[in-house]
Amino acid sequence: MASRPPVHRARKRFGQNFLRDPGVISRIVRAIAPRPGERLVEIGPGQGALTEPLLEAADGHLEVIELDRDLIPGLRVQFFNHPGFVIHEGDALKFDFRALRGEGQPLRVVGNLPYNISTPLIAHLLQAGDAIADMHFMLQKEVVERLAAAPGGADWGRLSVMAQYRCRVESLFVVPPEAFVPRPKVDSAIVRLTPHAELPHPAADEALLFSLVREAFGQRRKTLRNNLKGRIDAESLEALGIDPSRRPQTLTVEEFVRIANHLAVAGGEEGHR
């Protein structure tokens, strides 16, 4: 008697919630709208719910990155007749997306991401710069709201500034827990991130910008004057046209960059003294 492949039990530590709703799956694929000839990369194919329609739409060419080794044999069997299907076994957090792009066209990255690593994974992908054409992710709804937030609201924070510094962010639609097995405890949503071809507000020193943003949001209720005490005084903020009594969640990306670029120049001048 032929032995059956073992039934896969969803693993919590790999953030496994498998998509089951065909309506949601086809809506995601329509939002991505892959075309033959594009370089499509799926993070966490799992049991292939998105992989299959993506392969179809992309003319049989798709690369996937999967960490759970137990899922790899199933994927190989399921897609054995697609020579353009490539599996990278490993951790997407450590994956070199620039190397994968190589000299070829930029990558379109998609994935129903494990929620426990979605923020560091997005940060990792944002570092890959022009290696990426766009990204479509299923994330916890709250994370999508933070990514796509506008200044002034409660959701505007470090993640919003970091993402919108590099990308156009669009919140596309909400996906309820019933679309998955097992069901997550929270709503999910699909987000599209499109890296700017040219940064609208380039920072002279990006590491300085991001550490400034981290500090500014250190205590959201405090004013900039207090949160940025060790970095910049109230007079200098005023000279930059920024009221020191404002709270960090009211600042735009451009204003954060304005402060960071002032500090980059001021630091440089000090260094030359």
Ligand X SMILES: C[S@@+](CC[C@H](N)C(=O)[O-])C[C@H]1O[C@@H](n2cnc3c(N)ncnc32)[C@H](O)[C@@H]1O
Among 38, 68, 145, 255, binds ligand X (CB under 6 A): 68
Question: Any idea what the Cα angle at residue 65 is, between residues 29 and 143, rounded to 5°?
Answer: 60
Minimum CB–partner distance for residue 245 and ligand X (Å)? 43
Q: What is the footprint of ligand X within residues 27-66 (CB under 6 A)?
A: 43-47, 49-50, 65-66
Q: Is 66 annotated as a binding residue?
A: yes
Nearer to ligand X, 70 or 243 (CB): 70
Closest residue to ligand X in the complex (CB):
44
Q: What is the footprint of ligand X within residues 195-224 (CB under 6 A)?
A: none
92 binds ligand X (CB under 6 A): yes
Stretch that binds ligand X, among 85-93, 139-147, 207-215, 226-234 (CB under 6 A): 85-93
Distance CA 113, CA 264 (A): 36
Stretch that binds ligand X, among 29-37, 67-75, 143-151, 217-225 (CB under 6 A): 67-75
Distance CA 176, CA 138 (A): 11
30 Cβ partners below 8 Å, 6+ apart? none
Distance CA 147, CA 71 (A): 30
Q: Is 116 annotated as a binding residue?
A: no
243 binds ligand X (CB under 6 A): no
Stretch that binds ligand X, among 87-95, 139-147, 198-206, 257-265 (CB under 6 A): 87-95
Stretch that binds ligand X, among 29-37, 91-99, 125-133, 158-166 (CB under 6 A): 91-99
Q: Is 112 annotated as a binding residue?
A: yes
Amino acid at 133: A
Q: What is the footprint of ligand X within residues 109-148 (CB under 6 A)?
A: 112, 114, 117
Distance CA 100, CA 89 (A): 14
Minimum CB–partner distance for residue 119 and ligand X (Å)? 13
Q: Is 44 annotated as a binding residue?
A: yes
Nearer to ligand X, 50 or 232 (CB): 50
Distance CA 71, CA 89 (A): 10
255 binds ligand X (CB under 6 A): no
Amino acid at 129: G
Nearer to ligand X, 34 or 44 (CB): 44
Minimum CB–partner distance for residue 186 and ligand X (Å)? 13
Residue ranges binding ligand X (CB under 6 A): 14-19, 43-47, 49-50, 65-68, 71, 91-93, 112, 114, 117
Could you tell me which residues are annotated as the binding site? 17, 19, 44, 66, 91, 112
Could you tell me which residues are annotated as the binding site for S-adenosyl-L-methionine? 17, 19, 44, 66, 91, 112
